[in-house]
C-alpha cells in the first residue's frame, strides 16, 4: 500500500540445487507418487464397484481393476528390490499353482477382449516366484490374444506330463513372428528366462488351430 513499507519474504527456488539432487532421492519421490496413484485407482474401483446398478460384466471389470492395481504394486516392489542391489536380488520362491494363476491371467485379459478362449486346467504346482510366474504367463497369453484377434480363438491347457508342469497356448492367428509385436521380442526373453531359471524349456511350433503353439515345460512339485 502507498506510504507503507511492506515486508516481502523471498523464497529461493533452488533450481540449481534441485538439479544436483541425487537421482536416488528423485526416484524415491516418483515411487512415492506412483504408489499414491495405484492406491487411488484401487479406491476408485472400490467406490464404483459398490454401485448397485452395475451389471455383472461391469462389476467383474471393476473388480479386475483392483487386481491389476495389486499386481502393479507388486511390480513396483520388485523394481525397487532390483534397483536397490541388482547383484544381490533374489526373489522369494514358493509353491505356485500354475492352473490358478493361468486362469487369473485369462480372466483379466478376457474382460477386455472378444477373443474366444477355452481353458482346460488341472492342478499343478511349481517352485517359483509368484510375481515372476504371473509375468511370464501374462506375456505369453497376452501375445496369443493379440495374435488371434477379437474374432479369433485360443485354447489353453495346464497340466502335468511325467515330471513336468505344462502350460500350452494354441491360437489360430497368423503364426509365430507374423502377428502383432509381442512375445517375439522383450516378452519372449521374459518367458524364456523365467522357464530357464526353473530348469525348464520353452517350445514354439505350429498349432493345430492354424496359428502358433507355445509350450512352457517346468519341473513340477510332487503332491
Q: What is the pLDDT of residue 53?
A: 79
Cα distance between residue 119 and residue 117, in whole Å: 6
Of 159 and 47, more confident: 159
pLDDT, one tens digit per residue, over 7-36 is 555 445 454 444 545 666 666 666 667 766
Q: Are residues 33 and 119 in the same domain?
A: no
**pTM for the predicted model, two decimal places:** 0.71
Cell 497376452 belongs to 142
Distance CA 44, CA 41 (A): 5
* Same domain? 158 vs 202: yes
Q: Residue 5: inside a domain, yes or no?
A: no
Look at the chain and report how many structural domains it folds into.
2
Task: Judge if 98 and 206 occupy the same domain.
Answer: yes
Judge if 54 and 25 occupy the same domain.
Answer: yes
Domain that holds residue 42: 15-84
Assess whether 42 and 132 both reside in one domain: no
Q: Is residue 104 part of a domain?
A: yes
CA–CA separation, 59 and 132 (whole Å): 28
Q: Is residue 117 part of a domain?
A: yes
The predicted pLDDT at position 21 comes to 57
Looking at the chain, list the stretches that DSSP marks H as alpha helix, in order from N- to C-terminal side: 15-20, 23-49, 56-84, 98-110, 130-148, 188-197
| Final residue of a structural domain among 55, 84, 113 | 84
Are residues 27 and 109 both part of a single domain?
no
- Indicate whether 128 and 51 sit together in one domain: no
Amino acid at each position: 500500500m502507498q506510504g507503507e513499507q511492506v515486508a516481502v519474504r523471498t523464497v529461493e527456488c533452488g533450481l540449481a540445487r534441485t538439479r544436483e539432487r541425487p537421482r536416488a532421492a528423485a526416484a524415491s519421490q516418483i515411487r512415492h507418487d506412483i504408489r499414491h496413484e495405484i492406491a487411488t485407482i484401487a479406491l476408485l474401483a472400490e467406490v464404483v464397484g459398490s454401485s448397485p446398478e452395475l451389471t455383472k460384466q461391469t462389476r467383474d471389470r471393476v473388480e479386475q481393476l483392483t487386481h491389476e492395481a495389486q499386481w502393479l504394486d507388486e511390480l513396483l516392489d520388485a523394481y525397487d528390490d532390483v534397483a536397490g542391489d541388482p547383484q544381490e536380488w533374489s526373489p522369494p520362491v514358493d509353491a505356485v499353482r500354475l492352473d490358478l494363476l493361468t486362469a487369473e491371467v485369462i480372466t483379466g485379459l478376457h474382460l477386455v477382449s472378444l477373443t474366444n478362449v477355452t481353458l482346460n486346467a488341472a492342478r499343478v504346482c511349481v517352485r517359483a516366484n509368484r510375481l515372476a510366474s504371473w509375468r511370464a504367463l501374462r506375456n505369453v497369453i497376452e501375445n496369443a490374444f493379440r495374435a488371434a484377434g477379437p474374432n479369433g480363438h485360443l485354447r489353453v491347457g495346464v497340466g502335468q506330463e511325467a515330471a513336468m508342469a505344462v502350460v500350452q497356448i494354441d491360437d489360430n492367428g497368423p503364426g509365430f513372428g507374423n502377428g502383432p509385436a509381442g512375445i517375439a521380442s522383450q516378452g519372449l526373453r521374459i518367458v524364456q528366462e523365467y522357464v530357464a531359471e526353473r530348469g525348464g524349456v520353452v517350445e514354439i511350433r505350429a498349432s493345430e488351430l492354424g496359428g502358433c503353439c507355445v509350450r512352457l515345460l517346468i519341473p513340477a512339485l510332487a503332491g
